Amino acid sequence: MTTGVGRTIVLALLLCCLPLTVMGGAGAVPATGATGDNERALGSVAFQQDAADGNETVRHQNPDEYSGDGDQEELERWLSGWLSEQLEGGAVELSEGEYDMASEYVDDEYSDRLAQYVEVSGGGDGGGGDGDGGGLSQQAQAFEEAQAEQQRVANAAATYNETRTEYREAREAGDAEEARELARELETLAQDLDDATQNALVQYDALSEDADIDLSEARAAIETTNQDVQTEQADIRDAEFVETEMTLEAANEEISFTDPLVGTGELRTANGTPITNEEIDLEVGNQTIQTETDATGSFDLEYRPIAVPLSAESVSVQYVPGNQTDYLGSETSVPVSIEQTEPPLEVASVSPEPVAYNDTVTVEAGLVADDGTTHNVSTAVSIGGVSLGTLDFDERTFDENATVPADVPAGEQPLEVALPFGDRAVASIDAETTVTVAETEPELAVGATSSGDQEVTVNGTLAVASGGDIDGVEGESVQIVSSDTVLGTLTTGDGGEFGDTLELPEEMAAGDVQIVAVHDDDGTNLARAEAETTVSFPGGSLLPTWAWLVIALLAAVAAGAGLRWYRAGTDSESVPDSQGDSETPVSATETMEPSVSRSLLSHAGEQLSRGNADEAVRDCYAAVRGTLESQLGAAGSLTHWEFYQRYQDDASAADPEPLRDVTEGYERATFGREGVSEREAETVLERARELCGFEESAGHPSADD
């Protein structure tokens, strides 16, 4: 909200809230609140005394009446003072070693007040500050950056303090190697703390240009914090490390990838002793180059610039000692002039081959120098025109989330690697190879219920089995079809779920209606998949009312579960007993596999964690019903209470109480007006795990399984 009207609205809201701060002093826990002139100014803006009767209770002024520039200036001044006091209070806590408390001074409440300050001051559009109209004003930006740097100081100081304790313990235990490693970590933390402190001081100075802001106490406090750490780290440095000095002479100043920097250097200790016959790592630009010192401490360096800006006038060379050494790092730089080149880019390997949906792809690519050597580079990678991300420069592999998405088409596809550079030492170039993208068979499930004279509510899931888990596929289209008529096209959500209420043509909304879900997208690497279910409407059938209820129940179970557990037909049948002439009723539903029950219960846990208690309970009932049906010889046409009665009457069945809890919960979740609470759903999930044989003691399936 950057317009004048927007600021007026924010001002009105603030004026309603800020009097509470004045009267009760309620700000952040560490806040000191408005005092002195700021408090009196705020009171004059936020309240008015009834002129007709000075004895009446002080009341809130109508915020709409305070939209003038003068009132905004008063409020802006109060907010500026509040933010400054938070910075000062946090800095003081830092100097006293109260790092958690220091962080609270610049936490979310500070961010909220800063947002209010931006709105009131016009600091978000350049209207009320020194901004250029394209971002925060200089004052608002200084408040924001001061917050970030002060938080960084607090984090670094806290971590330094914890690591220092570990270092001392290692020293007392006589573990020299561990102590040295921790001392090296302390060296990095001390440098981070010093950098953050200097940055914070710059912002303090910028804010102090306002005559109403005095951050001298904050400056002194944060400098004390930093100085204490630097002094202590100097003692640790002297005890653990030997300082080094590095010199480097370059044979050429004009360099490029094809004409590398060639130099000779020396590495010595601070007292001049050469570091001899050591393998050393040198960081140059964003590359790590390994070389070796000789008997005199000399080393050779060859550096081919890749991502260095063409405008660079020098390159920094840093010695990075290994953790096992007792040396400190050192740094030097050499002047250069960089020329841009376009060397060949080579794709060395791609794995796995072929690739498929959700596979993590590893690509090795490099720039080929004229001497035939290959140098690793960070490249952007795409398959079939679909971006997979950027390869890490050192590891040359993607992170865990850079996997093959569904919208990469199956078949032979081009894999392209590219250097998305601009004015860098190596120009923007690309290379291409071909990979095979395998087609993956998805699992599609659908359920439906009639929800009106011509309406049907459809729910389902599109998923892929991977490593024992079932992962939902997001962003895919599923057509809902009935009698060759497309009722609608639904899109899967982040868990692979889809659902909507669709309308049937009037002539189709009678009797049993077959609903078919179809996923068929040639532009993906998922194979065609179909799933069907049946929904019943009044008319067109001689089935009694109770039968319609049974069908609706079963459809609701299937929809809530998101997976079909009717793999064969839907009619119950009797088969001859192989032991005699008697007939034993057999469910048309095959025995539910334990993995399916586990998946349903896992999905129920996920639904519950998202607050979908009714969906979770329906998943639980589907898992329990599918698990227990086969042992009872109970046909799928039984209602939920008929099924419970069959279970209760079965002499071999266990205590029926858990099933009663699940059944009652299912009835409320499916037919009750208010559904079930999360607490009730948790109970149903616990009972369902017990009935399916996945009690907690046995490692029941949770949402994380």
547 or 230, greater pLDDT: 230
For 224-242, b where at least 16 C-beta lie within 10 A, e where not — what string? ebbeebeeebeebbeebbb
Radius of gyration of the chain from its Cα atoms, rounded to whole angstroms: 35
pLDDT digits (tens, 9 = 90+) for 420-446: 778 899 999 999 999 999 999 999 999
Model pLDDT, residue 593: 67
Compute CA distances 8 → 68, 119, 132, 153, 239, whole Å: 9, 9, 22, 36, 61
- Average pLDDT on 399-413 reads 81
Q: Whole-structure pTM over 0.75, yes or no?
A: no
Residue with token string 């962080």 = 103
pLDDT digits (tens, 9 = 90+) for 259-278: 999 999 999 999 999 999 99
Model pLDDT, residue 391: 63
Return phi, psi of residue 185, to 5°. -60, -40
CA angle in degrees (0–180, nearest 5) for 8-11-12? 85
**Residue 344 to residue 259: CA distance in whole angstroms:** 14
- Average pLDDT on 61-66 reads 37
Check if the beta carbon of residue 226 is closer than 8 Å to that of residue 193: yes
pLDDT digits (tens, 9 = 90+) for 104-147: 999 999 999 999 999 888 755 444 444 444 457 889 999 999 99
247 or 654, greater pLDDT: 247
Is the backbone peptide bond immediately before 354 cis, with ω within 30 degrees of 0? yes
For 524-549, b where at least 16 C-beta lie within 10 A, e where not — what string? bbbeebebebebbbeeeeeeeeeebe
CA angle in degrees (0–180, nearest 5) for 199-204-206? 100
The lowest-confidence range among 231-240, 325-334, 583-592 is 583-592
Predicted confidence (pLDDT) at residue 623 exceeds the cutoff of 60: yes
Model pLDDT, residue 508: 86
The full set of domains in the chain, from first to last, is: 4-239 (no CATH), 244-338 (2.60.40.1940), 345-437 (2.60.40), 443-539 (2.60.40.10), 573-698 (1.20.120.330)
Return phi, psi of residue 402, to 5°. -85, 80
423 or 640, greater pLDDT: 423
Model pLDDT, residue 47: 32
Model pLDDT, residue 560: 44
pLDDT digits (tens, 9 = 90+) for 533-577: 998 887 544 444 444 444 444 544 444 444 334 333 333 333 333
| CA-wise closest residue to 502 among 486, 481, 483, 488 | 488
Predicted confidence (pLDDT) at residue 699 exceeds the cutoff of 70: no
pLDDT digits (tens, 9 = 90+) for 447-470: 998 877 889 999 999 999 876 677
Predicted confidence (pLDDT) at residue 588 exceeds the cutoff of 70: no
